[in-house]
Amino acid sequence: MKVCPKCNQQYDDDNLNFCLSDGELLMETAGGDADADATPTVYMDSPRVTNQNWEQQEPAQVQPNPAPQQMAQQPFAAPQTYQATVTPDKTLATVSLVLGILSLVLMCCYLGIPLGAGAAITGFIGMNRVNTDPDKYGGKELAIIGLVLGGISFVLSMLLIIGGILGAIFD
Ligand SMILES: [Zn+2]
């Protein structure tokens, strides 16, 4: 008769060395009375459940206390981190994105050149600002999109104009 010290599973096979469910090294049990061995495991398990409940309840009651302490410590650091992480300046990046979209939409009216150039410039500046001062400025993705869109519409508009001039010349 062998018993697993971890899960208290009992094995009648004495050739077995390890527990089949968790691989724990089996212990040799003195005596072989199956009924006497079976009942203690029942008593062993029931106190554990109540102990776990006690341990789970106690941290839950303690947890609310640390929070006010952290709140009290934060006001010194809060003004800096608040502006840095929560409200980065995305204005330029947003302007670049809007200009980039407008330049594409209005490209047919030859507005693609000024709008595209504006989008590309503001996008470039916005991107650089995020790179140099990422705490203060945000919206790098917006700036890049604005830069790309503005660049595309600017180049396409230039090609349209050049094509128009060439067409006029060769006609
Ligand atoms: Zn086991």
Q: pLDDT by residue (tens digit) across 96-115?
A: 889 888 888 887 767 888 89
Using the predicted structure, report yes or no on whether residue 138 has a pLDDT greater than 70. Answer: yes
27-30 LR contacts (CB < 8 Å, sep 24+): 27/2, 27/3, 28/1, 28/2, 29/1, 29/2, 29/3
Strand ranges (E), 1-147 = 2-3, 10-11, 27-28
Q: Ligand 1 center to residue 5 CA distance, Å?
A: 7
Give ∠ CA 68-70-73 in degrees, rounded to 5: 110
DSSP per residue over 66-92, as a string?
HHHHHHHHHHHHHHHHIIIII--B-HH
d(CA 31, CA 37): 9
Q: Ligand 1 center to residue 53 CA distance, Å?
A: 23
The two three-digit tokens of residue 82, written as one number? 């608040």
Pair 135, 170: CB distance under 8 Å: no
Q: pLDDT by residue (tens digit) across 55-88?
A: 555 555 555 555 555 555 555 554 444 444 557 8
- Look at 57 and 158; give whichever has higher pLDDT: 158
Pick from 22-36, 66-80, 132-146: least confident: 66-80
- What does the buried/exposed string (b/e) look like for 85-95 if buried means 16 or more CB atoms within 10 Å of the residue's CB? eeebbbebbbb
Using the predicted structure, report yes or no on whether residue 7 has a pLDDT greater than 90. Answer: yes
Q: Ligand 1 center to residue 19 CA distance, Å?
A: 5
pLDDT at 10: 92
Q: Ligand 1 center to residue 20 CA distance, Å?
A: 7
- Residue 51: pLDDT band (50, 70, 90) is low
Q: Ligand 1 center to residue 14 CA distance, Å?
A: 15
pTM score of the predicted model: 0.44
